Amino acid sequence: MYILSHLLVSPNVTRVNCDKNRTPLVAPDTIVMHYTGGGDARSSALYLADPATKASAYVVVARDGQIFQLVPFDKRAWHAGASALAGREHVNAFSIGIELANAGRLIRRDDRWFTWFGHEIPQAEVYVFLGKEGPTYWHAYTPLQLRVAARICQLLARRYPISRLVGHSDITARKQDPGPAFPWNAFRKMVGDLNGKEKTDILK
């Protein structure tokens, strides 16, 4: 996989037409990780590309490692919403967002788990988070999906001046993604060094 003309090139990348984002993105320095909070990657990609949807994304990574790219990396996408990072507002203006197909927080009924939209999730895909309010249940990411996302981050850091990797919940109190099931330490290790900044300047 590589980046050509601000697009990922690989047999497992599918382009999805999304021409509502036309404002240039210049010198992005941050990657924002998200979960879709939805069903499969294709349906989320089509929803985000819809001209009527007031949100978009650069890429959606499926649970099987397939990638859907909607917006080229030299245009601003609408992934962050109202947001701020280290005193800078409008994170969309300096970041690239990566969406992972994942249903987010799950609802437990007896010993079964369901997404907010009513799909049952097998127990093997349930991540239990022990917080102050007791256990909560989240859709686990797949190892392949995380590896593919980490590879995308590496390619982005090589091509653009990326020096920060954060979650959507780090830049706005409105959002919980990528949530407690996202393995930050392992993911950062897979991605490796980013550009030019001291390690202390990298959040988390």
Residues that bind Zn ion (CB under 5 A): 34, 168, 177
- Minimal distance, residue 71 CB to Zn ion, in Å: 15
Which is closer to Zn ion, CB of 29 or CB of 170? 170
Which is closer to Zn ion, CB of 29 or CB of 177? 177
- Minimal distance, residue 177 CB to Zn ion, in Å: 4
Q: Which residues pair with 24 in a beta bridge?
A: 75
Which is closer to Zn ion, CB of 112 or CB of 174? 174
- Minimal distance, residue 70 CB to Zn ion, in Å: 14
Which is closer to Zn ion, CB of 2 or CB of 129? 129
Bond preceding residue 178 cis, omega within 30 of 0: yes
- Minimal distance, residue 171 CB to Zn ion, in Å: 9
